[in-house]
Each structure stands twice: as structure tokens, then as C-alpha cells.
Amino acid sequence: MKKDLFEQREPQTVSKHNIFENYLKPWASIISKRFKDAYYVDAFAGAGEYKKTGDAGSPVIALNILLKYQKPTCKFHCFCIEKSPERFEILSNSLKRFEEKLDIEKYNGEFLDFIDKILIKIGKSPAFFFIDPEGFSGMDFDKIKTILDSPAKEILINLQYNAIQRWLNAPKVEETITRLFGTTNYRKAKSEAELIEVYKEQIRQKGAFVWYFKNKFPTKDRTLYYLVYATKNLTGFKIMKDVMFSEESKRHFEPSLFAEVDFETFQKQIFDKYKGRKHVEYNEVLKFVLQETDCLAKDLNTALKKIGVTEVKNPAQKLNPYLNFPNHNSNSILLRETVMHRYKAVPALLETALMVRKPKINYKEYRNIDGRKRILVSQVSDGSIIKRFDKTPLPQKATDVVCPHFLELKWAYGCPFDCSWCYLKGTFRFRPEGIKPVYKNLEKIKLHVQAFLKEAEEPEILNTGEIADSLMKENGTRAFSRIIIPLFEVQDKHKVLFVTKSNNIRNLLEIHPHEQVIVSFSLNALPIAAAWEKKAPNVLNRIRAVEELNKAGYEVRIRIDPMVPVDNWEILYRELIDMIFAKLRPERITLGSLRGLQSTINGTKDTSWVHYLKETSNWGKKIDFTIRLKMYLSIITYLKKKYRYDKIALCKETKAMWQKLGMDYKSIKCNCIF
């Protein structure tokens, strides 16, 4: 027998009601001072109260609040919709005590059947819609759009992720889910984060602000639902974000030794975006902070003071002053002083905090490929975040591979794309999670990167894609690009390199500036990618992403790697080159042929590619030398003759191959270096 949701209030409902109540109070307070009429719509009202415990449901919570804030100059009107006849009868009894003082209309039926009628009654008056279904039917996105198109409307939506994902691939509800999202783009989502991003993007397209609260099952590490808020009102958005963060902090956040570091990063992000600009409207900066960062309005106000921003009155809008940003951030936070102040009563904790805050930069003498010696950073502290990739010795023998030593930024392990020949299958063969993505401690990453950027004098590129795909989970709320790029943009010496097969570039397109960023896409011939890169985005979609980033001003590089000598390989790879150059001229192209360490071969389930490997090197097995030579010559010649393009390098290829091709490996300019 199906459990009655209104028997008693479940733990997961408490957070939802807290957010609902803590936002509706300031909403009602503000609205009652400014408008003659205002409306509350409960689209899936339920029974109004819980049978066993007597706890109030959303209609009763709302009406109690509206009754408190109603004034002689402002009247609140309420619409409650419930399709279950049994619940509707209970709801009607629950609301009787409010009917003398509040204007209440009750509808027994579907939300979709009454929304147009209700919107006509509301007109241009302000209204708050609470759309909290038991499942995911009956809340078509075209009606959400209609609400958002009407002035002064706000919506809080319970998007039932757990139910949606269970039915996502069921043909019988395909039409219902398409109506729910208002697009078929949800079918392309490969993860939970991408799915919720599709819904958010639909709301953004209506010109609305959007934020959400993720609620999990009380006893499981699994998402139950997303509480999604949408509005075109900046004040409402500011308040709701505060409310959601406050509820989140009750569940997860503890005071952190790294709070000041996070704030300094945020402060630099604001300063770098607006430095030197005059007469910037406060609301312009606030919109950026609320939409693009995990910070709040109060954080912005603190940052503006620290930066030394001055205000100028805006004659047209009292509460939206002009801001004048200095050219130099002379008032930046001094971390040591902040920590000392916070922990002055706890000397031992202070000592630990300061020790954590000062990662050690380790140096070592290296001999470059060209024979020169240089003192370079070998690692930061324990090397778990920043470490030089120096596993390949300087090439001596003909079969030694050429690979300059570069710095890795090891922010995560693993990759979601599971390509058949991926060397991570060998590297992570002893990990219980295998190549499943695992993220490292964010605060530690920030500390180590900031320490490196501050101290390291020799310009370096930090590669984020050696042991992870740099853009994995990029459509999530805490995308790595939004965290790491602002750290690099406060200086102009070092760059960060993203290496990826993903096409999740929305965040990258929204981040400005991005002068210190290089994005390198791994591409392959279409049939080859289809055969052995099955979980990765389609190559055509990757090329579209390359094109968009190039147009946005990013430095873009291409890796055609690993090339595989399948039937008609020459035609296939020339077609790939044509597809790339039809869209852009990459800053650099690095070619590589199929190869496999023995650990990779042992660790992969799909060994259908292994039969191509005939030769050995100091970096595993390779395709026969003659075939590789023919492949490289064909593609290099094609690039030079048809496109007059010569910014070409080889990846982990032998000294003999470089020499046979007449290329100088000592002046190599490949994917991972300047």
C-alpha cells in the first residue's frame, strides 16, 4: 500500500519548509508595504496538515505568515490547488479558520487546468508560486515560462530528481518528462549535475535568476529533490540565496580555517573584474556575485570595503549607488593577521593554522630536453596537489620517448569517459573506485596554488588533465573552472591548462577574464571515437565546443591522439583535420599514436585495440614504426600543404621518430608546455 505523505512530516521535508517559511516572511513583509494586492499560489497544496503530528503543511504555513503581514493597505489573496478529492476535503477543513480574514480560493483538480485562469485574476500584481508535486507530472515548463513572463512573479519549485532519474529512460513517460523540462536536451545529460543544469538553463533563457537547494535522503548519500527558485527580482534573489545558504549551513558547514582564503580569492575575483572602472552600478556587481559565485550580498559589501571602493550617489536610484574601483588593491586581506585575530586565544590552533597556510615550495635542478640546466619547482609541499611530471628521462636511445617535464595540478583523480585505451585504467588499477572521479580537498588545492603563484618565478603551465579530465562535472554548482581560473587571473606569469574530451564549456564561456587559461581538446576520427571512446561526447560536439571557446578568446590547442591505423585511416584523419579547420586555426596541434603501458593493457576490459601494438619503447608498446611514420607524414604534410599550418608537435613519441620526420625534438612545443 502506498504511504500517505501527509501521515506525518518526514525529516527531508523540514528543510523544504524551513526555506519556504524563511523566505515567505520577508517576501510578505516587503510586498505588504508596497502593493495594494498580492497573491500566494500553492499549486499542489496537499492536505494542509499532517494527520499524526499536526504539523502544518505549506498552505497553513503560508496563510499564518500572510495573516501576520496583511495590512489595511494590502490584501493577500490565496489560491490552493489539490487534485486528490480526499486530501482536498481535509485541506478545506484546515483552511476554514483563515477564511474570514484572508481571501482564499480552493480548486479540486490539476494545477495545469487552473493556472491560466489564476494568472488572469492575478494580472500584474506580485505573486509567489509554490510548486511542490508528489512526483513530476502536471508541472509543464511552458506554464513555468508563462508565470515568469508575467511581471512580479516568483516561483519555488520542488524538482523531484529521484523520481525523474528512475523514469528517465522509460518510453511511456518520455512525453511527460519532455514537457517537464520544456526541451529534449535532458536526454543529452550524462550526470545528475548536467540534468539539473538543463532545467536551470531553461529558466535563465526567460531572463530570470535561478538558484537551488539540493536535499538528500536522510539516511542515504543520494539526492531526493532539488528546490529550485526562480525570479526576475534581484532583491528576492538576494534574500532567497541567503535563506538557502543558511539552511545548508545547518546541515553541512562547519567553521573552517580556510574561510579567509576563500574570501581573499573572492575579493581578488571582484577586484580583477572591475579594477579601475568608474560609475559601475552596485546592482551590476551584485548580480555577478549572486549568479556567478557561491558568495552572498554581505560578502560583496565586505569585499568592497577591503578593496577600497568608493560610492557615488546615483540620482536615479537611491539604493543603487555608483561604485568607483581603484586601480590597485592596496587594502587586500592579510591572511596572517586575520588568522591571528581569529585564533588569538588558542595559540596551538593558531600555530597549526599558520603552518597549514604556508605550503613549502620545493625546488630541484632539471636538465631540459635541449640540454640546459634550470632550477625549477619540483613540487609544492607533499606533492599531492602540484608536482612535476618527470617520469620520462632525457632521451638517449632511439626508442626513448620525448616528453618535456611539466607541472601537474592534481585537483582530482579519474575520468567519467572510460575510453578503452585510457592509461588511468592501469594507473588506478588498485583503487577501489577504479577510474571513477574523486575530488581532492578544495581548500588544500587553493592554498597550494596560491602559494605557487605567489613564489614561483619561472613561468609555468600547470596541467589539470594528466590524471583527470579537466572539465568533468563542469556543469555542477561548484565547477572547478570557476574555482581555479580566478586564482590564475590575478597574475600574468603562469597559466592553467585544461585537457579534456568534454563539451561542458558553459562556465568557461561565462568566466572573464581568462587570459591565463589554455584549453586543449582531445579529438579523434569519428569511427575511432565511436568504437573506443564510447562514453565521451561526440567528436562533432567537441569541435563545436572548441569553436565557441576560440570565438570567446580562449587559447585553444588540439590533441589528435591516439591515432589508430584502421582501414581508410588517412581519409578519416584528413576529414577530421578539415572539420577542425572549418571552424578555427588552433594555437597548436599535438599528434600522438596508439600506445599502451602493460599496466593499461592488463587493466582494460576492451582489448580490441591491443593487436595494433607491435613495438616496444621506454613508454610501453607502440604501433609498428613504419606505420606510425606513414601516419604522421600524411597528416603533417596535409596540414602544411592545404592549411599552411606548421605548429605541430608529437606526444610521447620516440627520439627516432622525431629524427626520421626531420623535426627537432630539442625545441619541442607540445601540448603541456609554453
Look up the CATH number of the domain holding residue 661. Answer: 3.80.30.30
Q: Whole-prediction pTM value?
A: 0.52
Neighbours of 371 (CB within 10 A): 8
Domain edge (last residue) among 222, 251, 280 = 251
Q: State the pLDDT at residue 477.
A: 66
Q: 280: domain CATH number?
A: 1.10.10
Residues 211 and 266 in one domain: no
Range of the domain at 588: 361-667
**What b/e string do you get for 600-635 counting C-beta neighbours within 10 Å, with b at 16 or more?**
bbebbeeeebeebbebebebbbbbebebbbebbeeb
- Return the DSSP state at 19: H
Cα dihedral 118, 122, 124, 126 sign: negative
Q: Considering the domain boundaries, does residue 61 fall inside one?
A: yes
Q: State the pLDDT at residue 339.
A: 36
Residues 365 and 491 in one domain: yes
Q: Give me the residues of the chain with pLDDT under 70, please.
A: 1-5, 218-221, 249-264, 329-357, 429-433, 476-477
- Return the DSSP state at 583: T
Residue spans of alpha helices (H) in 584-646: 598-603, 625-643
Residues 241 and 277 in one domain: no
Residues 565 and 651 in one domain: yes
Q: State the pLDDT at residue 347.
A: 44
Edge to edge, what strands does the sheet with 495-500 contain? Answer: 361-367, 373-380, 386-389, 406-409, 461-463, 495-500, 517-523, 555-563, 588-593, 648-650
Question: Of 111, 227, 218, nearest to 161 (Cα)?
Answer: 227
Rounded Cα distance, 560 and 653, in Å = 13
Q: Considering the domain boundaries, does residue 229 fall inside one?
A: yes
Residues 180 and 230 in one domain: yes
Q: State the pLDDT at residue 628.
A: 97
Q: Considering the domain boundaries, does residue 79 fall inside one?
A: yes
CB distance 514 to 489 below 8 Å: yes
Query: Residue 560: CA atoms inside 13 Å, Cβ hemisphere, count?
Result: 26
Residues 166 and 237 in one domain: yes
Tally of structural domains, the chain: 3
Q: Considering the domain boundaries, does residue 5 fall inside one?
A: no
Q: Considering the domain boundaries, does residue 587 fall inside one?
A: yes
Domain edge (last residue) among 218, 251, 284 = 251
Residues 209 and 333 in one domain: no
Place of cell 478545506: 92
Cα dihedral 630, 636, 639, 644 sign: negative
CB distance 67 to 75 below 8 Å: no
CB distance 412 to 430 below 8 Å: no
Q: Considering the domain boundaries, does residue 51 fall inside one?
A: yes
Residues 108 and 190 in one domain: yes
Residues 346 and 377 in one domain: no
Residues 342 and 443 in one domain: no
Q: State the pLDDT at residue 3.
A: 55
Residues 377 and 296 in one domain: no
Q: Considering the domain boundaries, does residue 385 fall inside one?
A: yes
Q: 119: domain CATH number?
A: 3.40.50.150
Domain edge (last residue) among 327, 356, 385 = 356
Q: State the pLDDT at residue 393.
A: 85
Q: State the pLDDT at residue 119.
A: 96
Residues 97 and 168 in one domain: yes
Q: Considering the domain boundaries, does residue 146 fall inside one?
A: yes
Q: Is 18 left (phi over 0), alpha (psi -120 to 50) or beta?
A: alpha
Phi, psi (rounded to 5 degrees) for 342: -70, -35
